[in-house]
Structure 1
Amino acid sequence: MANHKSAAKRARQSIRKTAVNNARKSTVKTVEKNLVKAIQAKDIKALPELMKKFTSQVMKAAKTGVIKKETASRKISRLSSRAAAAK
């Protein structure tokens, strides 16, 4: 347990921020999984909307530091090329 008031506050903030970051990471993984399923099923009607949602979620995660910007760019690039090939 923290010995100072400020250290206790930082510990509380850390717990909240960790929960938010884990939720964002989980959302990114879920959206990515849905996009991959649509690509494999060659669901051409759902692909543009899923790709837009995936890009948005990944860039939000990268902007807030949940994942690195390079990782976000790599994920978007690879999945967008797979989506284009599926069409």
Structure 2
Amino acid sequence: MRGIKRYIARNKIWIAVGLALTWAFVKMAYAERGYVAYGGEWLTLPLILMAVEIARNVVGTARYLFEMEDDYEPDGNRRNCI
């Protein structure tokens, strides 16, 4: 339960944005169709949360890769390398 609370606290802004966009997209889709049906508009919130996780992973990986360049001495000798 603690993990769920932590996830919600960490992503509360993205959850709010996703819910607002889902509501808007569902309203537009229902108006366009003229009847109640379930379609891809319901995937808005999960897709936003997945995109945020992917972006965080990409940023973390990029930071890791750019920090690896600091492990080399100017004369070519390695330090702090595994």
Report TM bin, short chain. Answer: 0.3 to 0.5
Structure of greater Rg: 2
Give the TM-score, by structure 2 length.
Answer: 0.46
More helix by share: 1
Structure with more contact order per residue of length (Cα contacts < 8 Å, sep ≥ 6): 1
TM-score, normalised with respect to structure 1: 0.44
